[in-house]
Chain A
Amino acid sequence: MMPAGLPSSEDGRSLLLKNPDVAKAVALLVLQDENAVTVSQAYKCLTNLTSVPAISEYLVEHDYGGITAHLVNSSLKSDDSAALQCAAMLSNLTRGRQGAEKLWTLLRSTNKCDDLLAALCSSTSENRDHLSFVFSNLSQLDEVRRWLLDQAARRVQKFFPFLTLETSSVRRHGAAAVLRNCCFETDSNEWLLSPDVDILPRLLYPLMGPEELDEDEMEKLPLELQYLGSDKQREGSPEIRQMLIEAIMQLCATKKCREHIKNSGAYYVLRELHKSESCRPVVVACENLVDILISDEPEPGMENLKDVDIPEHLTKKFEAYNEELLKE
């Protein structure tokens, strides 16, 4: 039995990379050994192994003894510490597109897509937190985004409480990523902003801090965001703040959605955020979004920003400009 500590070190991982049979042996140990202590050790070993992209890809490709299916079943069976390890491994395995596709195919063929979503959303146990990352990884796939945006199934709404209630940063991070990815589906943007889903207050809520707006500005905000008081704290993670801004940015693709967002007082929230924001990438994302919100509408025929053809030299110039902003 190999010590679980070995894969934690960089040298240990390098050694394992040259001997892939070791990863296979540990994977089979997880599946076959009946000793709980051994399995627990193997879980930890495998979690560390799968955090190395190359090993993760190797395991995805070979899937010894159906290790992926085992991880799914363990995540669903209970929310004990074993489920934590399994969810973390699934998160590692699905970071790449190939791993995400493989897991999604498995979930679809075994009818466990909604079960896994329910496992995340119906349990507050921290052992389930990493399922949030599993879903954000899965949502890189077109197919999964369409599944999440099924209007009758109301799946995307299940991620809202993670942004508006007290939850772990892992869940908040995963939820923000899922919602941002869903906002890339321009055809669903009107529905996302409609009263049926009403995504905008959920995206703006974590961006609001203790500052108090003037009453006339306050009254323009969605009702859920009005008069939150000076004890309201802004989301502490810059990565999450940036993803939320990017999500709103994606919702600004069409004229109708832009006007909805403009008329919801989003500018005031971003203005106050900008005053106190210390993380440079978030500042840049914020300024880009504000530029859209305060700009005049484009000429007729150019309203859908994603359909406008931008000359390549301008695209490169804009990208270089953003690079310069990030350096300041």
Chain B
Amino acid sequence: MDEEARMKLLEKLQQEEEEFIAGLKPSKYRDGWKEETWEKEMEEHPLFAKSLPDSGELPPLVEAMQQLKYDTELNGPEDLAEQYKDDGNNNFKLKKYRWAVASYTEGLRQKCKSLELNAQLYCNRAAAQFRLKNYGSALADSTIASKLKPNYVKAVTKAALCCWELERYQECIDWCRQLLELDPANAEMTALKDKAEKALKLAERNKRKAELKERLAARQEAALRSALEERGIKLPKPKDEELECNPFDPLTPTHPALRDHRVHQSPTGDGLVWPAIFLYPEVMESDFVQSFDESSSFGEQLELLFGDTVSQPEWNASGQYTPNSVSVWFKDHFTGKPVAISPKTTLKTVVFDKRFHIDNGTTSFWVLPKGTEYEARFLAQTGST
């Protein structure tokens, strides 16, 4: 970029700066003087001071105002820009970064022709913005500064640091490389570049991992949806992405014991794993089975429930209910009548049975004492209306 191109860039930037300020909306009043101390601060501020400080040296702004008052015709844009830069620097030293930004901005508004001075104003404003954690604005200003003034080490350094804070690691690396070409022995930038390279590597790896997880989840959801439709279970189509509603929500069990055990695909082989409720109406009890794999049989499940005679619940302390002494039934969705399930039958067979209906994503079954009067009465009465 030669001198003429930089001058054109400067004019373009000054025009854009003017348009930007004209378009600024009034913002909330901040960093204002406190009510209890406004008089003291008013007295101290150069614009409103009634008397000059006792020390011999005048603050630059006071000196500038005096020059303005007496030499208005002689002060060109460059002189004024220089004064605003000094004001900005003083505010910066006092850690009044918002005032510093305002001063540097006024300096830029003078539209002086000095590339060097404008570059410094942009760079210094970047430094003030950086202290305010406005890393985006700081990056924009330091980028401009580095274009107005070739090999501007401070601007390039600031741009790299901004990119680091913004987690734009590739750009950070590029700025570091640019600076290390000018100053290969710069240890600070070498360390920053290494840090950014490590961070970029980790960020890219995390992105790949997240994408793979997302893809896997989508694949699993599609497979689950397909399996459910195969079993005659319809699901709402995922219309609204904004509404945080999972299409599988209707399949979430309502009972607390099963709530976290929604139907899912079986890790081994194909088929699904269901939450299940086993109801014992004779004794007004029930068992909750969190994972009932479709490929296992009801005989196997009864063995799990009643096979261990030592650790039976209180209601079955006498061992009346055993795997061989009970019968299992599901409710015919159309007639309400119990349908017998033989021990060899797998859950899959029942789930595919059109008479079997699943509410709240939970399979449920009656377990009755086999060959008893209660069983006969229950079967006769259930579903007859």
| Contact residues of B between 41 and 63, Cβ < 8 Å to A | none
Interface string of B201-240 (1 = CB under 8 A from A): 1101100110110010000000000000000000000000
CB contact between A227 and one of B194, B201, B212 (< 8 Å): that residue: B212
The chain B residue sitting closest to A201, CB to CB, is B201
* Cα(A226)–Cα(B213), bound, Å: 13
> Which among B202, B205, B209, B211 has the highest number of chain A CB atoms within 10 Å?
B205
- The 4 A-B residue pairs whose C-beta atoms are closest, nearest first, are A227-B208, A227-B209, A223-B205, A223-B201
A66 at the interface (CB under 8 A from B): no
Q: Is the CB of B212 within 8 A of A224?
A: no
Q: Which residues of A contact B (CB under 8 A)?
A: 195, 223-224, 226-229
The distance from the CB of B216 to the nearest CB of chain A, in whole angstroms, is 9
Residues of B within 8 A of A226 (CB): 205, 208-209
Chain B residue at smallest Cβ distance from A196? B194
Number of chain B residues close to chain A: CB under 8 A: 10
Check A223 against B209 for contact (C-beta < 8 Å). Answer: no
Residues of B within 8 A of A223 (CB): 201-202, 204-205
**CA of A223 to CA of B215, assembled, Å:** 20
Which residues on B sit within 8 Å (CB–CB) of A195? 194
* Cβ–Cβ < 8 Å partners of A228 in chain B: 208
Query: Please, which residues of chain A bring their CB within 8 A of the CB of B209?
Result: 226-227
Tell me the complex Cα distance, A228–B215, Å.
13
Q: Are A229 and B201 in contact (CB under 8 A)?
A: no
A226 to B206, CA, bound (A): 9
Name A229's contact: one of B194, B202, B204, B208 (CB within 8 Å). Answer: B208
List 18 extra interface pairs beyond A224-B205, A228-B208, A229-B208, CB under 8 A.
Answer: A195-B194, A223-B201, A223-B202, A223-B204, A223-B205, A224-B201, A224-B204, A226-B205, A226-B208, A226-B209, A227-B205, A227-B208, A227-B209, A227-B211, A227-B212, A229-B211, A229-B212, A229-B215
* Distance between B213 CB and nearest chain A CB, rounded to angstroms: 9
Q: Give the distance to chain B from A229, nearest Cβ to Cβ, in Å.
A: 6
- Provide 21 A-B residue pairs closer than 8 Å at the C-beta atoms, listed in order of the A residue: A195-B194, A223-B201, A223-B202, A223-B204, A223-B205, A224-B201, A224-B204, A224-B205, A226-B205, A226-B208, A226-B209, A227-B205, A227-B208, A227-B209, A227-B211, A227-B212, A228-B208, A229-B208, A229-B211, A229-B212, A229-B215
Q: Closest Cβ of chain A: how far from B177's Cβ, in Å?
A: 12
- A residues near B201, Cβ cutoff 8 Å: 223-224
Q: Which residues of B (177-217) have their CB < 8 Å from a CB of A?
A: 194, 201-202, 204-205, 208-209, 211-212, 215
Instruction: Give the docked Cα–Cα distance between A229 and B211 (Å).
Output: 9
Distance, CA A223 to CA B202, complexed state (A): 6
A228 and B212 alpha carbons, distance in the complex (Å) = 8
CB interface residues, B 327-351, toward A, < 8 Å = none
- Residues of chain A within 8 A (CB-CB) of B194 are 195
CA of A224 to CA of B202, assembled, Å:
8
Of the listed residues A223, A224, A228, the one surrounded by the most CB atoms of chain B closer than 10 A to its CB is A223
Residues on the A chain within 8 Å of B211, using CB: 227, 229
B97-135: which have CB < 8 Å to A?
none
Complex CA distance for A227 and B205, rounded to whole angstroms: 7
Closest to B197 in A: A195
Nearest B residue to A224, CB-CB: B201
A229: chain B residues within 8 A (beta carbon): 208, 211-212, 215
Nearest residue, chain A, Cβ from B194:
A195
Name the distance in Å between A175's Cβ and chain B's nearest Cβ.
21
From residue B208, how far is it (CB to closest CB) to chain A in Å? 4
> What mask results when residues 82 to 96 of chain B are scored 1 for a CB within 8 Å of chain A, else 0?
000000000000000
Q: Which B residue sits closest to A212, measured CB to CB?
A: B212
- With both chains docked as a complex, state the minimum distance between the C-beta of A11 and any C-beta of chain B, in angstroms: 56
Smallest CB gap from A221: residue in B: B205
Quick one: closest A residue to B215, CB to CB?
Answer: A229
Q: A224: which B residues are within 8 A, CB to CB?
A: 201, 204-205
* Distance to closest chain B CB from A325 (angstroms): 37
Interface 0/1 of B366-383, CB less than 8 Å to A: 000000000000000000
Tell me which residues across on chain A come within 8 A of B212, comparing CB atoms: 227, 229
The CA-CA distance from A116 to B205 in the complex, in Å, is 35
Give the distance in Å from the alpha carbon of A229 to the alpha carbon of B215 in the complex. 10
In the bound assembly, the distance between CA atoms of A224 and B205 in angstroms comes to: 7
CA separation between A99 and B202, bound complex, in Å?
Answer: 45
In Å, the complex CA distance between A226 and B210 comes to 11
A184 to B204, CA, bound (A): 32
Give the residues from 286 to 322 in chain B that come closer than 8 angstroms, CB to CB, to chain A.
Answer: none
